[in-house]
Amino acid sequence: MGMQAGDTVLVTGATGYIGGRLAERLVTEEGVHVRGLVRNPAKAAELARRGIEVVPGDITDPASLQGAMAGCQVVFHAAAWVSEAGSRDEVWAVNVQGTQNVVDAALAAGVQRLVHVSSCAVYGSLQQFDIDEETPPRRTGNLYADSKVEAEEVVFRAWQEQGLAVVVARPSQVYGLGSPQFTLRPLEAIRSGKMLLIDGGRHLCKPIYIDNLVDGLICCAKVEAAVGQAFNFTDGPPVPWREFFGAYARMLGVERLPAAPYPVAWLAAALFELQAAVRGRKASLNRRVVKALRSNNSFSNRKARTVLGWEPRVDLAEGMRRTEAWLRANGYLEKKRP
C-alpha cells in the first residue's frame, strides 16, 4: 500500500536539510501524522512548532528505532553521514549499518513502504551523459559514495529476500532554501572571495531544486509501480557552473567571478587546505571540491517522469528566485531596500 491521508509516517534525519523540508511538507500538504527521528531534540523546536511529533533516537541505536516505528505505515530514510570528514568506520556505522538497522526495524514493525534517500553519487562520477537507472552503481574509493552504494544493497536485499516494499531515490545536486552544500557554501565562498570558476565554469552542474526532490519523494511513497525500483531525481539537462554560481554572485552584487584553469585551481585548493589545517579549520575550497567541479556528465530523469508521473515544477530561474527570497528572509543576505 502506498502512503495515504491519515497514515503515520516516520522521517529519519528530520533535523537535516532534505528530511526537514520533507517533514514540513508532509505535515502541511499530505494529511499524514509525521514523526521526526532526531538525535538532538534541542535542534527540533522548529519541527515541533510545525506539528511534527519529535521522537528522540538514532539510526545507529536499533532499540530507539523500535519505538519510533511502532504503528508507522511509511518510513522515509533521509538520515546519513554527509560530512567530508570521518573515518571509514564512522561513515559505515551511519550510512550502511544505520540503514540495516532502519530496514530491520521496518520489517519488525510491519511498515508498508520504505523510501530510501540515496544519491546519484552511487554511479561513481561516471563521465557520461544521460546516466540512467540501468547503469550499475560502482565503487570508486570515495567513502561517501561507496557507503551509499552499500546502503542501497542493504535496502534492495530487504526487498528481494524479505519482501519489504522499498523505493530508492537518487537525487543529483540539491540546491535551494538552506541547502548546506549547494546554496550556503557557494554563497559564503563568493562572499569571502574564495570562489573560483574552474576552466571558466564551463563544466556541468546537475541541479535539483529541493521542492522538486520532495515532490519526487512523495511520489515514491504513493505510486505502486515504484516498489523495488531506483529513481534518479534531477531537474533536467545539466547547467554550466558559471551559470549556477553566477546566480548567487548576482544576489551578492558580484559582477564577475574569478576563473582559473584546473591545474591552478587544484594548487590553490591544496594551499587553502594547508592554510586551514594550520588554523585547525576545514577548507571551504579543497581538492575534492575542485575535482567535482570539473565533472562533465548528467543523469536522466526519464524513469521518474514516466513511472512516477513526476515533473520538476520549479526551473532554475524560479528556484533561484525562491532561494534568494529565503536567504534574505533568514538573514543570509541583506534585505532588499524598497
Q: What is the DSSP string of 254-323?
A: -----EE-HHHHHHHHHHHHHHHHHTT---SS-HHHHHHTT----B--HHHHHHH-----S-HHHHHHHH
* Annotated catalytic residue 148: yes
d(CA 8, CA 294): 43
Closest CA to 247 of 320, 148, 180: 320
Angle, CA 190 vertex, CA 186 and CA 192 arms, to 5°: 115
Closest CA to 32 of 75, 83, 84: 75
Neighbours of 164 (CB within 10 A): 23
- Beta pairing class for 113-117 and 74-77: parallel
Task: Show the cell assigned to 74.
Answer: 511509511
The pair phi, psi for residue 194, each rounded to 5°, is -110, 10
Strands in 8-12's sheet, in edge-to-edge order, are 53-56, 33-38, 8-12, 74-77, 113-117, 166-171, 229-233
Closest CA to 30 of 11, 46, 16, 12: 11
Q: Which of 148, 206, 282, 336 is catalytic?
A: 148
Task: Show the cell assigned to 31.
Answer: 494529511
Sign for the pseudo-dihedral over CA of 257, 261, 266, 270: negative
Q: Are 301 and 233 in contact (CB under 8 A)?
A: yes
Query: Which of the 8 DSSP states describes residue 41?
Result: G
Residue numbers annotated as active site: 148
